[in-house]
Chains A and B, each alone.
Chain A
Amino acid sequence: MQIFLPIAEVSVNAFTLLGLGGIVGVLSGMFGVGGGFLITPLLFFVGIPPAVAVATSANQIVASSVSGVLAHFKRKTVDLKMGFVLLGGGLVGSAIGIQIFNMLKAMGQVDLLVTLCYVVFLGIIGFLMLIESIRAIKRAKGRPGGRPERKKHLWVHNLPLKMKFRASGLYISAIPPIAVGVMVGMLGAVMGVGGGFIMVPAMIYLLGMPTKVVIGTSLFQIIFTAGFTTLLHAYTNHTVDVFLAFLLLIGGVIGAQIGTQIGLKMKAEQLRIWLAVLVLAVCLKLGFDLLLPPKELYSLGA
Protein backbone atom coordinates (compact mmCIF):
# COMPACT_ATOMS: atom_id res chain seq x y z
CA MET A 1 0.00 0.00 0.00
CA GLN A 2 1.59 3.25 -1.13
CA ILE A 3 1.23 6.36 1.01
CA PHE A 4 2.02 9.85 -0.20
CA LEU A 5 3.79 11.75 2.57
CA PRO A 6 2.55 15.36 2.56
CA ILE A 7 5.74 17.02 3.78
CA ALA A 8 8.44 14.68 2.45
CA GLU A 9 6.50 14.74 -0.86
CA VAL A 10 7.39 11.22 -1.80
CA SER A 11 5.27 8.14 -2.09
CA VAL A 12 6.50 5.30 0.10
CA ASN A 13 5.16 1.85 0.84
CA ALA A 14 3.33 2.03 4.18
CA PHE A 15 4.45 -1.48 5.11
CA THR A 16 8.09 -0.57 4.53
CA LEU A 17 7.70 2.23 7.07
CA LEU A 18 5.80 0.02 9.52
CA GLY A 19 8.56 -2.58 9.09
CA LEU A 20 11.31 -0.02 9.66
CA GLY A 21 9.55 1.23 12.77
CA GLY A 22 9.11 -2.38 13.85
CA ILE A 23 12.77 -3.37 13.39
CA VAL A 24 13.96 -0.32 15.26
CA GLY A 25 11.31 -0.98 17.92
CA VAL A 26 12.56 -4.55 18.39
CA LEU A 27 16.12 -3.28 18.79
CA SER A 28 15.11 -0.54 21.18
CA GLY A 29 13.13 -3.02 23.26
CA MET A 30 16.07 -5.45 23.30
CA PHE A 31 18.79 -2.93 24.11
CA GLY A 32 16.93 -0.12 25.87
CA VAL A 33 17.98 2.56 23.38
CA GLY A 34 15.70 5.02 21.62
CA GLY A 35 16.73 3.79 18.21
CA GLY A 36 16.92 7.26 16.70
CA PHE A 37 20.49 6.63 15.62
CA LEU A 38 19.24 3.76 13.45
CA ILE A 39 15.99 5.16 12.15
CA THR A 40 17.46 8.35 10.69
CA PRO A 41 19.99 6.59 8.40
CA LEU A 42 17.34 3.99 7.48
CA LEU A 43 14.98 6.77 6.41
CA PHE A 44 17.71 8.25 4.20
CA PHE A 45 17.99 4.81 2.67
CA VAL A 46 14.30 4.56 1.68
CA GLY A 47 14.46 7.96 0.01
CA ILE A 48 13.14 10.39 2.62
CA PRO A 49 14.91 13.76 2.26
CA PRO A 50 17.55 14.08 5.05
CA ALA A 51 16.02 17.24 6.57
CA VAL A 52 12.62 15.55 6.89
CA ALA A 53 14.18 12.35 8.24
CA VAL A 54 16.03 14.22 11.00
CA ALA A 55 13.02 16.31 12.08
CA THR A 56 10.51 13.46 11.95
CA SER A 57 12.77 11.12 13.91
CA ALA A 58 12.76 13.68 16.71
CA ASN A 59 8.97 13.59 16.71
CA GLN A 60 8.91 9.81 16.82
CA ILE A 61 11.39 9.78 19.72
CA VAL A 62 8.95 11.89 21.76
CA ALA A 63 6.35 9.15 21.49
CA SER A 64 8.66 6.25 22.33
CA SER A 65 10.16 8.17 25.28
CA VAL A 66 6.70 9.02 26.68
CA SER A 67 5.79 5.36 26.44
CA GLY A 68 9.02 4.35 28.19
CA VAL A 69 9.08 6.98 30.91
CA LEU A 70 5.58 6.10 32.15
CA ALA A 71 6.81 2.65 33.12
CA HIS A 72 9.77 4.21 34.96
CA PHE A 73 7.51 6.63 36.83
CA LYS A 74 5.53 3.68 38.17
CA ARG A 75 8.78 2.10 39.38
CA LYS A 76 9.91 5.48 40.81
CA THR A 77 13.17 5.34 38.88
CA VAL A 78 13.14 8.91 37.62
CA ASP A 79 15.26 11.60 39.27
CA LEU A 80 13.05 14.59 38.49
CA LYS A 81 15.42 17.21 39.85
CA MET A 82 18.32 15.85 37.82
CA GLY A 83 15.94 15.60 34.86
CA PHE A 84 15.09 19.29 35.04
CA VAL A 85 18.73 20.35 35.37
CA LEU A 86 19.66 18.23 32.34
CA LEU A 87 16.65 19.65 30.57
CA GLY A 88 17.75 23.25 31.14
CA GLY A 89 21.00 22.42 29.36
CA GLY A 90 19.17 20.35 26.77
CA LEU A 91 16.89 23.17 25.62
CA VAL A 92 19.84 25.53 25.21
CA GLY A 93 21.64 22.79 23.29
CA SER A 94 18.65 22.17 20.99
CA ALA A 95 18.37 25.84 20.13
CA ILE A 96 22.10 26.00 19.30
CA GLY A 97 21.89 22.74 17.37
CA ILE A 98 19.01 24.00 15.20
CA GLN A 99 21.00 27.15 14.41
CA ILE A 100 24.00 25.05 13.35
CA PHE A 101 21.72 22.76 11.35
CA ASN A 102 20.13 25.66 9.45
CA MET A 103 23.44 27.38 8.84
CA LEU A 104 24.96 24.22 7.38
CA LYS A 105 21.80 23.51 5.42
CA ALA A 106 22.22 26.89 3.73
CA MET A 107 25.85 26.01 3.01
CA GLY A 108 24.90 22.60 1.66
CA GLN A 109 26.93 20.79 4.26
CA VAL A 110 24.15 19.35 6.39
CA ASP A 111 24.57 15.80 5.04
CA LEU A 112 28.25 15.95 5.84
CA LEU A 113 27.70 17.17 9.38
CA VAL A 114 25.05 14.57 10.12
CA THR A 115 27.16 11.78 8.66
CA LEU A 116 30.32 12.93 10.45
CA CYS A 117 28.47 13.10 13.77
CA TYR A 118 27.19 9.58 13.21
CA VAL A 119 30.58 8.18 12.26
CA VAL A 120 32.37 9.78 15.20
CA PHE A 121 29.80 9.04 17.90
CA LEU A 122 28.73 5.61 16.73
CA GLY A 123 32.39 4.71 16.31
CA ILE A 124 33.41 5.77 19.81
CA ILE A 125 30.40 4.29 21.55
CA GLY A 126 30.37 1.07 19.57
CA PHE A 127 34.04 0.51 20.25
CA LEU A 128 33.82 1.26 23.98
CA MET A 129 30.76 -0.94 24.35
CA LEU A 130 32.37 -3.82 22.52
CA ILE A 131 35.49 -3.70 24.72
CA GLU A 132 33.45 -3.32 27.89
CA SER A 133 31.13 -6.24 27.12
CA ILE A 134 33.96 -8.55 26.05
CA ARG A 135 35.68 -7.77 29.35
CA ALA A 136 32.45 -8.42 31.24
CA ILE A 137 32.10 -11.83 29.58
CA LYS A 138 35.72 -12.71 30.37
CA ARG A 139 35.20 -11.63 33.98
CA ALA A 140 32.06 -13.70 34.27
CA LYS A 141 33.95 -16.73 32.94
CA GLY A 142 36.96 -16.13 35.17
CA ARG A 143 35.86 -15.71 38.74
CA PRO A 144 32.44 -15.02 40.12
CA GLY A 145 31.78 -12.22 42.58
CA GLY A 146 32.90 -8.90 41.09
CA ARG A 147 34.74 -6.17 42.91
CA PRO A 148 32.71 -3.96 45.19
CA GLU A 149 31.45 -0.80 43.57
CA ARG A 150 32.97 2.42 44.86
CA LYS A 151 31.46 5.84 44.37
CA LYS A 152 33.98 7.90 42.44
CA HIS A 153 34.26 11.61 43.04
CA LEU A 154 35.65 13.45 40.02
CA TRP A 155 37.04 16.98 40.03
CA VAL A 156 34.06 18.19 37.96
CA HIS A 157 31.77 17.43 40.87
CA ASN A 158 33.51 20.03 43.02
CA LEU A 159 32.67 23.00 40.80
CA PRO A 160 30.43 25.72 42.31
CA LEU A 161 26.59 25.62 42.33
CA LYS A 162 26.32 22.43 44.35
CA MET A 163 22.92 20.75 44.42
CA LYS A 164 21.38 17.77 46.14
CA PHE A 165 19.91 15.10 43.89
CA ARG A 166 18.04 12.90 46.32
CA ALA A 167 16.81 10.15 43.99
CA SER A 168 20.34 9.70 42.68
CA GLY A 169 21.91 10.08 46.10
CA LEU A 170 24.30 12.74 44.82
CA TYR A 171 25.52 16.11 46.09
CA ILE A 172 27.39 17.60 43.16
CA SER A 173 27.82 20.79 41.16
CA ALA A 174 25.00 21.50 38.67
CA ILE A 175 27.52 22.47 35.97
CA PRO A 176 28.42 18.97 34.68
CA PRO A 177 24.76 17.88 34.25
CA ILE A 178 23.99 21.15 32.44
CA ALA A 179 27.00 20.65 30.17
CA VAL A 180 25.92 17.09 29.41
CA GLY A 181 22.42 18.38 28.64
CA VAL A 182 23.73 21.03 26.23
CA MET A 183 25.88 18.47 24.40
CA VAL A 184 23.08 15.96 24.02
CA GLY A 185 20.56 18.64 23.02
CA MET A 186 22.86 19.84 20.26
CA LEU A 187 23.47 16.36 18.94
CA GLY A 188 19.77 15.60 19.04
CA ALA A 189 18.91 18.61 16.92
CA VAL A 190 21.62 17.88 14.38
CA MET A 191 21.37 14.10 14.20
CA GLY A 192 17.66 13.57 14.84
CA VAL A 193 18.38 11.36 17.82
CA GLY A 194 17.25 11.46 21.42
CA GLY A 195 20.85 11.10 22.50
CA GLY A 196 20.14 8.26 24.92
CA PHE A 197 23.18 6.41 23.63
CA ILE A 198 25.38 9.32 24.72
CA MET A 199 23.36 10.47 27.71
CA VAL A 200 23.26 7.09 29.47
CA PRO A 201 27.04 6.49 29.54
CA ALA A 202 27.61 10.16 30.44
CA MET A 203 25.25 9.90 33.41
CA ILE A 204 26.87 6.72 34.68
CA TYR A 205 30.54 7.53 34.14
CA LEU A 206 30.62 11.33 34.27
CA LEU A 207 27.93 12.15 36.82
CA GLY A 208 28.20 8.92 38.78
CA MET A 209 24.46 8.34 38.91
CA PRO A 210 23.18 4.92 40.03
CA THR A 211 22.27 2.76 37.03
CA LYS A 212 18.69 2.16 38.14
CA VAL A 213 17.62 5.81 37.76
CA VAL A 214 19.67 6.50 34.65
CA ILE A 215 17.35 5.22 31.93
CA GLY A 216 14.17 6.72 33.38
CA THR A 217 15.79 10.12 33.95
CA SER A 218 17.37 10.10 30.51
CA LEU A 219 14.00 9.26 28.90
CA PHE A 220 12.29 11.96 30.93
CA GLN A 221 14.56 14.71 29.71
CA ILE A 222 14.68 13.34 26.14
CA ILE A 223 10.88 13.83 25.86
CA PHE A 224 11.34 17.55 26.32
CA THR A 225 14.54 17.97 24.33
CA ALA A 226 13.17 15.97 21.40
CA GLY A 227 9.84 17.76 21.73
CA PHE A 228 11.52 21.15 21.64
CA THR A 229 13.61 20.03 18.65
CA THR A 230 10.47 18.85 16.84
CA LEU A 231 8.78 22.17 17.48
CA LEU A 232 11.76 24.17 16.25
CA HIS A 233 12.15 22.03 13.13
CA ALA A 234 8.42 22.34 12.44
CA TYR A 235 8.49 26.08 12.99
CA THR A 236 11.67 27.06 11.15
CA ASN A 237 12.09 24.34 8.51
CA HIS A 238 8.60 22.85 8.01
CA THR A 239 10.17 19.42 7.84
CA VAL A 240 8.16 17.36 10.36
CA ASP A 241 5.99 14.83 8.53
CA VAL A 242 3.20 13.60 10.82
CA PHE A 243 2.18 10.82 8.41
CA LEU A 244 5.71 9.48 8.45
CA ALA A 245 6.01 9.79 12.24
CA PHE A 246 2.67 8.04 12.73
CA LEU A 247 3.60 5.01 10.61
CA LEU A 248 7.00 4.66 12.29
CA LEU A 249 5.30 4.89 15.67
CA ILE A 250 2.84 2.10 15.10
CA GLY A 251 5.62 -0.21 13.95
CA GLY A 252 7.82 1.02 16.79
CA VAL A 253 5.53 0.34 19.73
CA ILE A 254 4.67 -3.16 18.53
CA GLY A 255 8.33 -3.90 17.81
CA ALA A 256 9.38 -2.62 21.23
CA GLN A 257 7.16 -5.15 22.97
CA ILE A 258 8.53 -8.03 20.89
CA GLY A 259 12.07 -6.76 21.48
CA THR A 260 11.54 -6.67 25.25
CA GLN A 261 10.50 -10.33 25.18
CA ILE A 262 13.55 -11.33 23.12
CA GLY A 263 15.76 -9.24 25.41
CA LEU A 264 14.54 -11.11 28.48
CA LYS A 265 15.69 -14.41 26.98
CA MET A 266 19.22 -13.26 26.21
CA LYS A 267 22.22 -12.64 28.46
CA ALA A 268 22.98 -8.97 29.13
CA GLU A 269 26.63 -9.24 28.01
CA GLN A 270 25.69 -10.95 24.76
CA LEU A 271 23.05 -8.32 24.13
CA ARG A 272 25.57 -5.55 24.54
CA ILE A 273 28.05 -7.24 22.20
CA TRP A 274 25.38 -7.46 19.51
CA LEU A 275 24.37 -3.85 20.02
CA ALA A 276 28.03 -2.82 19.77
CA VAL A 277 28.46 -4.79 16.55
CA LEU A 278 25.32 -3.19 15.12
CA VAL A 279 26.46 0.31 16.07
CA LEU A 280 29.89 -0.30 14.53
CA ALA A 281 28.33 -1.69 11.34
CA VAL A 282 26.23 1.46 10.85
CA CYS A 283 29.32 3.56 11.60
CA LEU A 284 31.51 1.71 9.08
CA LYS A 285 28.87 1.91 6.35
CA LEU A 286 28.54 5.68 6.79
CA GLY A 287 32.30 6.10 7.08
CA PHE A 288 33.00 4.24 3.84
CA ASP A 289 30.47 6.42 2.03
CA LEU A 290 32.55 9.45 2.99
CA LEU A 291 35.86 7.91 1.96
CA LEU A 292 34.95 6.21 -1.31
CA PRO A 293 34.62 8.36 -4.41
CA PRO A 294 30.89 8.87 -5.10
CA LYS A 295 29.39 7.64 -8.38
CA GLU A 296 27.81 11.02 -8.98
CA LEU A 297 29.67 14.16 -7.95
CA TYR A 298 26.66 16.43 -8.34
CA SER A 299 23.51 16.59 -6.24
CA LEU A 300 20.34 18.65 -6.40
CA GLY A 301 18.42 20.52 -3.74
CA ALA A 302 19.04 21.34 -0.11
Chain B
Amino acid sequence: MMTRVFALLFALLMLPGAGRAEEVVAALSQSRISITANFDGSEILIFGAVKRDQPTPEGEPLDVIITVAGPEKVETIRRKDRRFGIWINVEAQVIGHTPTFYTVTSTRELADILPPLTDSLWKITPDKRILPGMRGLPAREALIRLRKADDLYRTREGVVTLSEDTLFQTSITLPSNIVEGGYTTRIFLLRNGAVIDSYGTTINVQKVGIERWLYNLAYQQALIYGVMALAIAGLFGWGASEAFRILRR
Protein backbone atom coordinates (compact mmCIF):
# COMPACT_ATOMS: atom_id res chain seq x y z
CA MET B 1 0.00 0.00 0.00
CA MET B 2 2.75 2.42 0.99
CA THR B 3 4.66 1.74 -2.20
CA ARG B 4 1.54 2.45 -4.18
CA VAL B 5 1.06 5.80 -2.47
CA PHE B 6 4.67 6.58 -3.09
CA ALA B 7 4.35 5.58 -6.71
CA LEU B 8 1.37 7.86 -7.06
CA LEU B 9 3.17 10.75 -5.40
CA PHE B 10 6.13 10.06 -7.59
CA ALA B 11 3.94 10.20 -10.68
CA LEU B 12 2.40 13.43 -9.44
CA LEU B 13 5.76 15.06 -8.95
CA MET B 14 7.32 13.79 -12.13
CA LEU B 15 7.22 15.79 -15.30
CA PRO B 16 4.69 14.48 -17.78
CA GLY B 17 5.85 11.63 -19.94
CA ALA B 18 8.49 10.14 -17.69
CA GLY B 19 8.13 6.98 -15.58
CA ARG B 20 4.51 6.28 -16.35
CA ALA B 21 2.63 3.47 -14.70
CA GLU B 22 -0.31 3.93 -17.04
CA GLU B 23 0.11 4.98 -20.63
CA VAL B 24 -2.41 6.13 -23.18
CA VAL B 25 -2.45 4.59 -26.63
CA ALA B 26 -4.83 6.30 -29.00
CA ALA B 27 -5.94 6.47 -32.60
CA LEU B 28 -8.15 8.67 -34.74
CA SER B 29 -10.60 7.51 -37.36
CA GLN B 30 -8.91 9.95 -39.71
CA SER B 31 -5.88 12.19 -39.44
CA ARG B 32 -6.63 14.14 -42.60
CA ILE B 33 -9.83 15.94 -43.47
CA SER B 34 -10.44 17.13 -46.99
CA ILE B 35 -12.69 20.09 -47.66
CA THR B 36 -14.42 19.15 -50.89
CA ALA B 37 -17.18 21.02 -52.68
CA ASN B 38 -19.86 19.19 -50.69
CA PHE B 39 -18.07 19.44 -47.33
CA ASP B 40 -20.55 19.84 -44.51
CA GLY B 41 -18.59 19.39 -41.34
CA SER B 42 -16.91 16.19 -40.30
CA GLU B 43 -17.04 13.74 -37.45
CA ILE B 44 -13.85 12.28 -36.09
CA LEU B 45 -13.85 9.21 -33.92
CA ILE B 46 -11.14 9.22 -31.27
CA PHE B 47 -10.52 5.96 -29.48
CA GLY B 48 -7.78 4.37 -27.42
CA ALA B 49 -6.74 2.26 -24.51
CA VAL B 50 -4.80 2.57 -21.29
CA LYS B 51 -1.69 0.42 -21.26
CA ARG B 52 -0.45 -0.81 -17.87
CA ASP B 53 2.50 -2.78 -16.67
CA GLN B 54 0.91 -3.33 -13.25
CA PRO B 55 -2.61 -4.00 -11.94
CA THR B 56 -5.19 -1.17 -11.96
CA PRO B 57 -4.55 1.15 -9.01
CA GLU B 58 -7.25 1.33 -6.34
CA GLY B 59 -9.06 4.42 -5.16
CA GLU B 60 -10.06 7.30 -7.42
CA PRO B 61 -11.31 6.17 -10.80
CA LEU B 62 -9.49 6.90 -14.03
CA ASP B 63 -10.71 9.76 -16.22
CA VAL B 64 -10.02 10.87 -19.76
CA ILE B 65 -10.12 14.41 -21.17
CA ILE B 66 -9.74 15.06 -24.89
CA THR B 67 -9.17 18.50 -26.41
CA VAL B 68 -9.02 19.55 -30.06
CA ALA B 69 -7.67 23.00 -30.94
CA GLY B 70 -7.92 24.56 -34.42
CA PRO B 71 -5.23 26.67 -36.08
CA GLU B 72 -4.42 29.91 -34.29
CA LYS B 73 -5.26 33.28 -35.71
CA VAL B 74 -4.83 36.93 -34.81
CA GLU B 75 -8.30 38.43 -34.56
CA THR B 76 -9.65 41.97 -34.60
CA ILE B 77 -12.51 42.52 -32.23
CA ARG B 78 -14.69 45.59 -32.48
CA ARG B 79 -17.07 47.22 -30.07
CA LYS B 80 -20.22 49.07 -31.06
CA ASP B 81 -21.53 52.12 -29.33
CA ARG B 82 -24.21 54.69 -29.93
CA ARG B 83 -23.02 57.72 -31.88
CA PHE B 84 -25.38 60.29 -33.39
CA GLY B 85 -28.29 58.03 -32.55
CA ILE B 86 -27.06 54.99 -34.46
CA TRP B 87 -24.96 52.03 -33.45
CA ILE B 88 -21.52 52.01 -35.04
CA ASN B 89 -18.16 50.36 -34.41
CA VAL B 90 -16.18 52.71 -32.23
CA GLU B 91 -13.28 50.65 -30.97
CA ALA B 92 -11.08 47.95 -32.50
CA GLN B 93 -8.67 45.75 -30.63
CA VAL B 94 -6.26 43.24 -32.09
CA ILE B 95 -6.22 40.08 -30.03
CA GLY B 96 -3.22 37.75 -30.13
CA HIS B 97 -3.14 34.14 -31.23
CA THR B 98 -6.29 32.27 -30.34
CA PRO B 99 -7.46 28.97 -31.76
CA THR B 100 -10.30 29.31 -34.26
CA PHE B 101 -11.83 26.15 -32.82
CA TYR B 102 -11.55 24.57 -29.39
CA THR B 103 -13.40 21.69 -27.86
CA VAL B 104 -13.01 19.88 -24.56
CA THR B 105 -14.64 16.52 -23.93
CA SER B 106 -14.38 14.41 -20.81
CA THR B 107 -15.62 11.27 -19.11
CA ARG B 108 -17.19 13.18 -16.20
CA GLU B 109 -17.92 16.72 -15.01
CA LEU B 110 -14.70 18.71 -15.25
CA ALA B 111 -15.32 20.24 -11.82
CA ASP B 112 -15.07 16.76 -10.29
CA ILE B 113 -11.95 15.55 -12.06
CA LEU B 114 -9.87 18.60 -12.88
CA PRO B 115 -8.59 20.83 -10.06
CA PRO B 116 -7.82 24.43 -11.12
CA LEU B 117 -4.09 23.97 -10.63
CA THR B 118 -3.90 20.98 -12.99
CA ASP B 119 -6.10 22.88 -15.41
CA SER B 120 -3.72 25.87 -15.39
CA LEU B 121 -0.69 23.64 -15.81
CA TRP B 122 -2.07 21.83 -18.85
CA LYS B 123 -4.28 24.62 -20.20
CA ILE B 124 -7.31 22.37 -20.65
CA THR B 125 -10.57 24.31 -20.24
CA PRO B 126 -11.26 27.25 -22.60
CA ASP B 127 -10.86 29.63 -19.68
CA LYS B 128 -7.30 28.41 -19.09
CA ARG B 129 -6.45 27.81 -22.74
CA ILE B 130 -7.70 31.03 -24.36
CA LEU B 131 -5.58 34.06 -23.38
CA PRO B 132 -5.61 33.34 -19.62
CA GLY B 133 -3.46 36.42 -19.07
CA MET B 134 -6.25 38.67 -20.32
CA ARG B 135 -8.92 37.27 -18.01
CA GLY B 136 -11.53 39.86 -17.11
CA LEU B 137 -10.84 42.12 -20.08
CA PRO B 138 -14.14 42.73 -21.94
CA ALA B 139 -12.60 42.05 -25.37
CA ARG B 140 -11.30 38.62 -24.34
CA GLU B 141 -14.60 37.67 -22.70
CA ALA B 142 -16.46 38.83 -25.82
CA LEU B 143 -14.21 36.74 -28.08
CA ILE B 144 -14.92 33.62 -26.03
CA ARG B 145 -18.64 34.44 -25.88
CA LEU B 146 -18.85 34.99 -29.66
CA ARG B 147 -16.96 31.80 -30.47
CA LYS B 148 -19.13 29.87 -28.01
CA ALA B 149 -22.25 31.29 -29.64
CA ASP B 150 -20.95 30.08 -33.02
CA ASP B 151 -20.34 26.67 -31.45
CA LEU B 152 -16.62 27.01 -32.16
CA TYR B 153 -15.66 26.79 -28.47
CA ARG B 154 -17.38 23.94 -26.69
CA THR B 155 -17.19 21.99 -23.49
CA ARG B 156 -18.86 18.60 -23.57
CA GLU B 157 -18.72 16.82 -20.25
CA GLY B 158 -19.42 13.13 -19.91
CA VAL B 159 -19.32 12.29 -23.62
CA VAL B 160 -16.12 10.24 -23.50
CA THR B 161 -17.04 6.66 -22.69
CA LEU B 162 -14.56 4.66 -20.67
CA SER B 163 -15.10 0.96 -20.18
CA GLU B 164 -13.30 -1.35 -17.74
CA ASP B 165 -11.00 1.58 -16.87
CA THR B 166 -9.14 0.70 -20.06
CA LEU B 167 -10.92 1.44 -23.31
CA PHE B 168 -12.20 4.91 -24.17
CA GLN B 169 -13.81 6.53 -27.15
CA THR B 170 -15.60 9.68 -28.26
CA SER B 171 -16.52 11.47 -31.43
CA ILE B 172 -15.83 15.11 -32.18
CA THR B 173 -17.79 17.08 -34.73
CA LEU B 174 -15.89 19.67 -36.71
CA PRO B 175 -18.19 22.42 -38.00
CA SER B 176 -18.75 23.22 -41.67
CA ASN B 177 -17.32 26.75 -41.40
CA ILE B 178 -13.95 25.28 -40.62
CA VAL B 179 -10.56 26.95 -41.02
CA GLU B 180 -7.79 25.16 -42.88
CA GLY B 181 -4.75 23.98 -40.96
CA GLY B 182 -3.56 21.65 -38.24
CA TYR B 183 -5.97 20.65 -35.47
CA THR B 184 -4.00 19.73 -32.36
CA THR B 185 -5.57 16.86 -30.48
CA ARG B 186 -4.56 16.13 -26.89
CA ILE B 187 -5.66 13.19 -24.76
CA PHE B 188 -5.14 13.34 -20.99
CA LEU B 189 -5.37 10.48 -18.49
CA LEU B 190 -6.27 11.73 -15.03
CA ARG B 191 -6.35 10.14 -11.64
CA ASN B 192 -6.73 11.91 -8.31
CA GLY B 193 -6.89 15.24 -10.05
CA ALA B 194 -3.53 14.86 -11.70
CA VAL B 195 -2.54 14.16 -15.28
CA ILE B 196 -0.75 10.81 -15.30
CA ASP B 197 -0.20 10.61 -19.02
CA SER B 198 -0.94 12.57 -22.18
CA TYR B 199 -0.84 11.97 -25.88
CA GLY B 200 -0.83 14.46 -28.72
CA THR B 201 -1.46 14.27 -32.44
CA THR B 202 -2.54 16.54 -35.29
CA ILE B 203 -5.46 16.34 -37.69
CA ASN B 204 -4.80 18.11 -40.98
CA VAL B 205 -7.70 19.94 -42.54
CA GLN B 206 -7.19 21.03 -46.12
CA LYS B 207 -9.16 22.17 -49.11
CA VAL B 208 -8.76 19.76 -52.00
CA GLY B 209 -9.66 19.57 -55.68
CA ILE B 210 -11.56 22.48 -57.16
CA GLU B 211 -11.83 24.24 -53.77
CA ARG B 212 -8.04 24.27 -53.42
CA TRP B 213 -7.56 25.31 -57.03
CA LEU B 214 -10.01 28.22 -56.90
CA TYR B 215 -8.73 29.44 -53.56
CA ASN B 216 -5.11 29.42 -54.74
CA LEU B 217 -6.04 31.10 -58.00
CA ALA B 218 -8.01 33.82 -56.20
CA TYR B 219 -5.07 34.67 -53.98
CA GLN B 220 -2.02 33.96 -56.13
CA GLN B 221 -3.32 34.88 -59.59
CA ALA B 222 -5.96 37.38 -58.58
CA LEU B 223 -6.13 39.07 -61.97
CA ILE B 224 -6.59 35.82 -63.87
CA TYR B 225 -9.22 34.75 -61.35
CA GLY B 226 -11.08 38.03 -61.79
CA VAL B 227 -11.01 37.72 -65.58
CA MET B 228 -12.23 34.14 -65.27
CA ALA B 229 -15.11 35.23 -63.02
CA LEU B 230 -16.08 37.84 -65.61
CA ALA B 231 -15.79 35.38 -68.48
CA ILE B 232 -18.08 32.93 -66.69
CA ALA B 233 -20.59 35.72 -66.00
CA GLY B 234 -20.47 36.98 -69.59
CA LEU B 235 -20.79 33.53 -71.13
CA PHE B 236 -23.60 32.64 -68.80
CA GLY B 237 -25.50 35.84 -69.50
CA TRP B 238 -25.15 35.30 -73.24
CA GLY B 239 -26.03 31.61 -72.93
CA ALA B 240 -29.13 32.37 -70.91
CA SER B 241 -30.41 34.93 -73.39
CA GLU B 242 -29.79 32.52 -76.32
CA ALA B 243 -31.37 29.57 -74.50
CA PHE B 244 -34.55 31.46 -73.71
CA ARG B 245 -34.75 32.87 -77.23
CA ILE B 246 -34.72 29.33 -78.57
CA LEU B 247 -37.21 28.18 -75.93
CA ARG B 248 -39.65 30.95 -76.79
CA ARG B 249 -39.68 30.09 -80.45
Contacts and interface: CB of A to CB of B under 8 A. Distances in A.
B212 to A, nearest CB: 8
A59 B230 contact: yes
B75 interface: yes
Interface stretch (B58-66, B107-115, B237-245): B237-245
A111 B38 CA distance: 29
B38 A297 contact: no
Contact of B229 (A234, A253, A297): A234
Contact of A109 (B40, B41, B81, B89): B89
A101 to B, nearest CB: 15
Given A64-B237, A70-B241, A238-B222, 8 more contacts: A11-B176, A62-B234, A63-B240, A71-B241, A230-B233, A235-B223, A245-B232, A253-B237
B82 interface: yes
6 contacts: A7-B218, A63-B232, A235-B223, A240-B229, A245-B229, A291-B86
Contact of B230 (A11, A107, A230, A253): A230
Contact of B80 (A10, A70, A297): A297
Interface string A87-110: 000000000000000000001110
A242 B215 contact: no
Interface size class, chain B: 35 or more
Contacts of B86: 112, 290-291
A293 B82 contact: yes
Contacts of A108: 76, 78, 89, 92
Interface stretch (B138-146, B156-164, B192-200): B138-146
Contacts of B85: 291
A9 B89 CA distance: 24
Interface string A232-248: 11111010101101100
Contacts of B207: 6
B77 interface: yes
B236 interface: yes
A240 B35 contact: no
B248 to A, nearest CB: 9
Contacts of B36: 4
B173 interface: no
B218 A299 contact: no
Given A6-B218, A11-B176, A109-B88, A67 B241 contact: yes
Interface residues of A, number: 54
Interface in B163-216: 176-177, 179, 207, 210-211, 214-215
A65 B77 CA distance: 38
A136 B240 CA distance: 34
A224 to B, nearest CB: 10
A296 interface: yes
A296 B229 contact: no
Given A112-B89, A231-B227, A242 B211 contact: no
Contacts of B232: 63, 242, 245-246
Contacts of B142: 296-298
B214 A6 contact: yes
Contact of A235 (B80, B139, B147, B226): B226
Given A66-B241, A294-B80, A240 B234 contact: no
Contacts of A235: 222-223, 226
A234 B238 contact: no
A227 interface: yes
A179 B154 CA distance: 54
A1 B211 CA distance: 16
B52 interface: no
Contact of B146 (A65, A68, A298): A298
A293 to B, nearest CB: 7
A62 B244 contact: no
A299 B82 CA distance: 15
Given A108-B76, A299-B78, A63 B39 contact: no
B37 interface: yes
Contacts of B76: 108, 300-302
A66 B238 CA distance: 6
B77 to A, nearest CB: 6
A249 to B, nearest CB: 5
A289 to B, nearest CB: 8
B236 A3 contact: no
Contacts of A64: 237
B244 A257 contact: yes
B47 interface: no
Given A290-B86, A297-B79, A299-B77, A7 B214 contact: yes
